Structure formats: structure tokens, C-alpha cells
């Protein structure tokens, strides 16, 4: 289990952060590199929350019991 979600890992390895609103490549707002801004549509997001928007935010912040224990889900 990682502290980074899948979108964060992919973006860190490729160096490309993709806007969830329009699909364009995002840029850092300033030299501190803590906020991403889309030059095409203006959408912005904190780097810590990249990939955790909408319904994904809850799922990525709180791991399931199975994730923590490393066991398979009993329903499957």
C-alpha cells in the first residue's frame, strides 16, 4: 500500500499532470510547485489532492479493511 494514489505515481514518473476537467497537461502555479493549474481551462488543484477528486477522494484517503490487513475481500 502506498501513500500515493495511482494517478500521482503515474504523473511523478512521467512528469505529466493531466487536468481532470479538460484533459490538457497541467503546469505548476509558481516556483513552490504545490498547486497545479490548467492553462487551457483554468482548473486548479493542490498537488497533494491530485488524482483524488470527486468520489475517488474518499476511496484514496481511507483504505479498506482488506487493504490494511492484506487479505482478499470475502465477497469475491
Tell me, yes or no, if the pTM score tops 0.85: no
pLDDT tens per residue, range 23-75: 999 999 999 999 999 999 999 999 988 887 765 555 556 667 787 888 776 55
In a 10 Å sphere around its CB, with 0-12 CB exposed, 13-18 middle and 19+ buried, how is residue 17 labelled?
A: buried
Amino acid at each position: 500500500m502506498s501513500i500515493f494514489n495511482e494517478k500521482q505515481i503515474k504523473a511523478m514518473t512521467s512528469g505529466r499532470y493531466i487536468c481532470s476537467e479538460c484533459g490538457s497537461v497541467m503546469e505548476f502555479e509558481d516556483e513552490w510547485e504545490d498547486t497545479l493549474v490548467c492553462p487551457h481551462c483554468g482548473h486548479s488543484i493542490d498537488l497533494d489532492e491530485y488524482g483524488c477528486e470527486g468520489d475517488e477522494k474518499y476511496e484514496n484517503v481511507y483504505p479498506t479493511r482488506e487493504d490494511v490487513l492484506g487479505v482478499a475481500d470475502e465477497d469475491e
